[in-house]
Amino acid sequence: MKKLVPSLALHAALIAGALFALGPLLWMVSASFMATGEANTFPPRFLPAAPTWEHYATLFTRLDVATHFRNSLIVTVSATLLSLLINAMAGYAFAKLRFGGRERIFGFLLGALVIPAQVGMLPLFLMLKTMGLVNTLTAAVIPFLASVFGIFLVRQYALGIPDELLDAARVDGAGEWHIFRTIVMPVLMPILVTFAAFNFLSAWNDFLWPLIVLSDNSKFTLPVALASLSGEHVQDTELMMAGSVVTVLPVILVFLFLQRYYVRGVMMGSVKG
């Protein structure tokens, strides 16, 4: 009995917090199903009177959002797959393969984390322009291919691989690439899923770089297309909410499926200090 009042107060606070966090997202979903103009009424409505799919239909027929969805998917999936291999190799080597200058190079990479991405962005844009890559999806993928954070995550995890396991394979005459593929990759799988989840979310949600480097509407990723639509369709609240749902839903689903792995990445990132 003594604990009833504190427990009620605690759960009231927890629920209030959940309403604050989820409220805007729930309203976004609800308003995307409202008839045109219904979201701009006073007092505001929370649920649509007669739910309709018409705004989603408009997005995918008249506004070609399917193309932007496809662009986002191509950029995100290729960035994630390529970066997995590149960073897994580097992270494993920094942890387990002894070579000259290893610690110095790794320290240098960590130090570079303090340089904000914007510093390199303008020259990178000019570089890609001379290479003829501006306004291609390749250009949107490039900054995600190698990541110091990814190398760091894999390295921390790979440090736990026992040397005896690798040495036994070496004594049996296995080559380093073979060891990496057949012994190391399976052991690293959990951290690779973590990194894949991180990379997927940040590539999908990225805005400034694709905004700079993609100039044709047909090349836009979803966030860039959405920002440009929101300029032309300021008044169409319900349509913009449907567009936001289409943009946000994939990342929310990926997060909900891979939550355990993603949370591990947040924790590992926080112990590096």
Q: How far is the CB of 62 from another protein (least distance, A)?
A: 19
What's CA 268's distance to the chain center, in Å? 17
As measured in angstroms, the least distance from the Cβ of 218 to another protein is 19
Distance in Å, CB of 258 to another protein, minimum: 10
Between 13 and 47, CB nearer to another protein: 13
Give residue for tokens 């929101």.
Answer: 230
CB 99, min distance to another protein, A? 4
Distance CA 38, CA 236 (A): 10
Residue type, 197: A
Long-range Cβ pairs for the range 138-141 (8 Å, 24+): 139/213, 139/214, 140/75, 140/206, 140/209, 140/210, 140/213, 140/214, 140/221, 141/75, 141/78, 141/79, 141/82, 141/203
User: Looking at beta carbons only, is 52 or 255 nearer to another protein?
Assistant: 255
Tell me whether residue 181 or residue 190 sits nearer to another protein (CB atom): 181
Q: Identify whether the C-beta of residue 188 lies closer than 8 Å to the C-beta of residue 92.
A: yes
The closest of 148, 147, 151, 124 to 210, measured between CA atoms, is 124
CB of 4 or CB of 50, closer to another protein: 4
User: Which CB, 7 or 61, lies closer to another protein?
Assistant: 7
Nearer to another protein, 100 or 162 (CB): 100
CB of 209 within 8 A of CB of 140?
yes
Q: How far apart are CA 55 and CA 78, in angstroms?
A: 30
Q: Minimum distance from CB of 50 to another protein (Å)?
A: 19
Rounded Cα distance between 268 and 205, Å, is: 22
Closest separation in Å from C-beta 109 to another protein: 7
Is the CB of residue 132 less than 8 Å from the CB of residue 244?
Answer: no
Using the minimum distance from each CB to another protein, give the nearer residue, 192 or 226: 226
Q: Where are the alpha helices (DSSP H) in the chain?
A: 4-32, 54-61, 65-96, 102-111, 118-130, 137-141, 148-158, 163-171, 176-179, 185-205, 208-213, 222-232, 237-270
In the bound complex, what is the minimum distance in angstroms from residue 172's beta carbon to another protein?
12
